[in-house]
Amino acid sequence: MIDRYARPAMKAIWTDEGRLSRWLEVELAVCEVQAERGHIPADAMAQIRARAAFDPARVAEIESKVRHDVIAFLTEVAERVGPASRFVHYGMTSSDVIDTALALQIRDSGRLLLEGVERVRAVLRRRALEFRHTPCIGRTHGVHAEPTTFGLKLLVFCEEMRRQRVRLARALDEAAVGKISGAVGTFAHLPPELEERVCARLGIGFEPAATQVVQRDRHAAFVTTLALVASSLDKIAVELRHLARTEVREVQEEFGRGQKGSSAMPHKRNPWRLENVSGLARVLRGYAGAALENQALWHERDISNSSVERVVFPDACTLLDFMLDRMAHLIDTLVVFPERMRENLELTRGLAFSGTLLLRLAEKGSSREDAYAVVQRHALEAWDEGGDFRERILAEPVVGALLSKEEIERAFSLEEALRHVDAIFARTLAREGEDS
């Protein structure tokens, strides 16, 4: 991933050094368990512990000749360890190292991603509570619908991020899985008990039944989950981008001192970082497709998945880590205009309450069809010709015959429309402890 979208901690996990250091961690864990089982002499194990190391440049140099990355790595380690290196990689195949180390990278990346999801959820929660009772117009099909609050908009996103955290944790458990079962998964040279002990030592799960590789449905589910999380961030970004439009102007992306929005138009304050989140989500969704393609390998394995994963895993994890950090900051610093929200809510002069009025008429004995006809007629006239919808309704004899002035006023009450907001917050935030 290009540096523009990479944060240091995540980037370090997926560098060549980060990958090779985990290869060495796997090899040493196998040796330690073998030594405990009495299959490596104590002096040889001491040599391995003391000398096992690598230089990424030397590994690359060897690989340019042997054209095999694991062999190049083992050759470099053997040069440093000496005679005791005969016990390193004993009974193993390359995928035992690669896939088990990949599980470590997934595990370590996952910790950062879970922290990122939680940061976004926490700032959404805080700002949802801040604007819990800030009324604004709800929109369906991009058209004014009924009143809501800006806090409820953010609460919906907060709850979605809670679900995404649960999904991500589950996907990490499934994908952070190693195997030390040999060339076709039969444990021809090392016993299943060793695999279980090695994976436990490394803090990951193990593949109960493998071929030469850990099965790629696990990894497809993981990358697909990353795409799901990214799509939730995209969803938030799309909503805020719309609300930042000049015609709407209910929110504004934080604009720093000295910042410039356009090379041609000095007045511009564009939601460019929100647009950036939406764009990067498209990349993540593309990676999910590539990961799904990796599930079908020939027989006990082929290597068609390898080239894909060298791109997809580092990029997907690094991109989502960046996106989460960016979105947490954008929500935290989002400029909100409650007065403008109120102006937009009142823009259609009471039309947002047409549904409530329809129900009040039906409650008083009108057929739904008759009530709909009279309410729609006045609503469309107010929309097309102007004037105040509430005043039109107050002057309508058909309505007046069924509803008192007080009942009509109550039908246009913002407080009445939003009376369950606190209950929605209470039941939603009560779910926060369910997945902890």
The SS3 call for residue 252 is: strand
Write down the pLDDT at residue 257.
79
The token pair that represents 383 in the structure block: 């929309």
pLDDT per residue as tens digits for the range 28-61: 999 999 999 999 999 999 999 999 999 999 999 9
The tokens of 178 are what? 């190693």
Distance CA 169, CA 221 (A): 12
Catalytic residue, from 89, 94, 141, 307: name it: 141
Token pair for 202: 């490394």
CB neighbourhood size of 266 (10 A)? 8
> Which contiguous run of DSSP H or E holds residue 136?
strand 135-140
Tens digit of pLDDT for each residue in 224-267?
A: 999 999 999 999 999 999 999 999 999 998 877 777 776 677 77
Please list, in sequence order, all residues whose beta carbon lies within 8 angstroms of the beta carbon of residue 70, skipping any fewer than 6 positions away: 23, 94, 97, 98
Q: pLDDT value at position 373?
A: 94
141 as an active site residue: the answer is yes
> What local confidence, expressed as pLDDT, does residue 435 receive?
57
Indicate the DSSP class of residue 209.
S
Rounded Cα gap, residues 236 and 326, in angstroms? 12
CB 196 within 8 A of CB 206: yes
pLDDT digits (tens, 9 = 90+) for 114-135: 999 999 999 999 999 999 999 9
Amino acid at the residue 338: P
Q: Are 430 and 158 in contact (CB under 8 A)?
A: no
Summarised one tens digit per residue, pLDDT across range 95-118 is: 999 999 999 999 999 999 999 999
Q: What residue spans of 255-413 are helical by DSSP H?
A: 272-293, 304-333, 338-345, 354-363, 368-385, 389-394, 397-400, 405-411
**Closest listed residue to residue 297, CA positions, set 361, 372, 216:** 216
| Backbone dihedral region for residue 299 (phi beyond 0: left; psi -120 to 50: alpha; all else: beta) | left
Helix (H, G, I), strand (E, B) or coil at 139: strand
Is position 189 annotated as part of the catalytic site? Answer: no
- Please tell me whether the overall predicted TM-score, pTM, comes out greater than 0.85 for this model: yes
The catalytic residue among 68, 262, 307, 367 is 262
Adjacent-strand bridge partners of 178: 206
Alpha-carbon span 76 to 52, nearest angstrom: 9
Residue type, 2: I
Residues 248 and 142: their CA atoms lie apart, in Å, by 11
What are the angstrom distances between the C-alpha of 279 and each of 230, 269, 293?
10, 19, 22
Pairwise CA distance, residues 127 & 110, whole Å: 26
Residues of the chain with pLDDT under 50: 436
Q: What DSSP element (H or E) covers 140?
A: strand 135-140
- Dist. CA 238–CA 155, nearest whole Å: 16
> Rounded to whole angstroms, how far apart are CA atoms 336 and 329?
14
CA distance 281 to 227: 7
